[in-house]
Structure 1
Amino acid sequence: MNEAAIAKALATAFLADTMTITAMEARGSHVLGQSCDWIRPLAARIMAAFPGGVRPRRQRVVEIIRQSRAFLLACEEHDFHALNPTLLPTKMHPAQSIRTWNVPSITSTDALARWLGISPAQLDWFSGRFRRSASVRIGSLGHYRYRLLQKSSGQVRLIEIPKWRLAELQRQILTRILNHIPPHAAAHGFRQQHSIHTFVAPHTGQAMVARIDLQDFFPSITLPRVAAVFRTVGYPEAVADALAGLCCHQVPDHVWHSEAGNLGTSSRNQLRLLYRQPHLPQGTPTSPAIANLCAYRLDCRLTGLAQSARATYTRYADDLAFSGDDEFRRSAKSFVLHACACVMEEGFTVHFRKTRIMPAAARQRLAGLVVNGKTNVPREDFDRLKAILTNCIRSGPDSQNREQHVNFQAVLSGRISFVEHINPSRGRKLRTLFEQIVWA
Structure 2
Amino acid sequence: MDATRITLLALDLFGSPGWSADKEIQRLYALSNHVGRHYRCIILSKRHGGQRMLLAPDYLLKTVQRNILKNVLSRFPLSPFATAYRPGCPIVSNAQPHCQQSQILKLDIENFFDSISWLQVWRVFSQAQLPRNVVTILTWLCCYNDALPQGAPTSPAISNLVMRRFDECIGAWCQTRGIIYTRYCDDMTFSGHFNARQVKNKVCGLLAELLGLSLNQRKSCLVAACKRQQVTGIVVNHKPQLAREARRALRQEVHLCQKYGVISHLSHRGELDPSCDLHAQATAYLYALQGRINWLLQINPEDEAFKQARESVKRMLVAW
* Length-normalised TM-score, structure 1: 0.61
Larger Rg: 1 or 2? Answer: 1
> What's the CA shift for 1:413?
0.4
Q: Partner of 1:408 in structure 2?
A: 285
Q: Is the 8 A contact 2:35 2:140 kept in 1?
A: no
Once residues 184 and 403 of structure 1 are traced to their aligned partners in structure 2, the CA distance between those partners, rounded to angstroms, is 44
Asked if structure 2 preserves the Cα contact closer than 8 Å seen for 1:161 and 1:284, the reply is yes
Cα offsets for 1:45-99 (capped at 9, x unmatched):
xxxxxxxxxxxxxxxxxxxxxxxxxxxxxxxxxxxxxxxxxxxx9xxxxxxxxxx
Alignment of 1:354-365 (within 5 A): 354-365=219-230
Q: Would you say the 8 A contact 2:44–2:52 is kept in 1?
A: yes
Q: Secondary structure at the match of 1:184?
A: coil
Task: Name the amino acid aligned to 1:416.
Answer: I
Is 1:121 the counterpart of 2:26? The answer is yes
State the distance in 1 between where 2:272 and 2:93 align: 30
The range that moved more, 413-422 or 425-434, is 425-434
Within the candidate set 173, 176, 191, 2:68 is matched to 173
Secondary structure at 1:335 match in 2: helix
Residue 185 of structure 1 deviates from its aligned partner by: 1.3
Mapped contact 1:201–1:375 kept (Cα < 8 A): yes
| 2:296 counterpart of 1:419 | yes
2: distance between equivalents of 1:348 and 1:195? 26
Paired residues of 1:188 and 1:316 also in contact (CA < 8 A) = yes
- How many residue pairs end up in the alignment? 294
1:367 alignment partner AA: T
Residue 120 of structure 1, CA deviation: 3.4
Structure 2: distance between partners of 1:429 and 1:333? 45
Tell me if structure 1 keeps the 8 A contact 2:8–2:134.
Answer: no
C-alpha separation between the residues in 2 aligned to 1:157 and 1:311?
Answer: 32
Runs of 4+ in structure 1 over 6 Å off: none
Partner SS, residue 209 of structure 1: strand
Output the CA distance in 1 between the equivalents of 2:246 and 2:61.
38
Please, which of 147, 150, 153 is the counterpart of residue 45 of structure 2?
Answer: 150
CA contact (8 A) 1:183 1:292 kept: yes
**Structure 2: distance between partners of 1:395 and 1:290:** 46
Unpaired runs of 5+ residues, structure 2, are 13-20, 274-279
| 8 Å Cα contact 1:393/1:436 also seen in 2 | no
Percent identity at matched positions?
Answer: 30
Gaps of 5+ in 1: 1-88, 90-105, 133-141, 250-276
TM-score, length of structure 2 as denominator length: 0.82
Residue of structure 2 equivalent to 1:289: 157
Q: In 2, distance between residues paired with 1:282 and 1:356?
A: 25
Q: Find the partner of 2:167 among 268, 287, 299.
A: 299
CA contact (8 A) 2:35 2:141 kept: no
Q: Which residue pairs with 1:389 in the alignment?
A: 254
Question: Distance between the aligned counterparts of 1:157 and 1:384, measured in 2?
Answer: 26
- What CA distance in whole angstroms lies between the structure 1 residues aligned with 2:256 and 2:217? 38
Aligned to 2:109, what secondary structure does the other structure show?
Answer: strand
Does the aligned pair in 2 maintain the 1:401–1:408 contact within 8 Å?
no
311-320 vs 209-218, which moves further: 209-218
Cα deviation for residue 420 of structure 1 reads: 1.6
Aligned alpha-carbon RMSD (Å): 2.6
Check the 8 A contact 1:333/1:357 in 2, yes or no: no
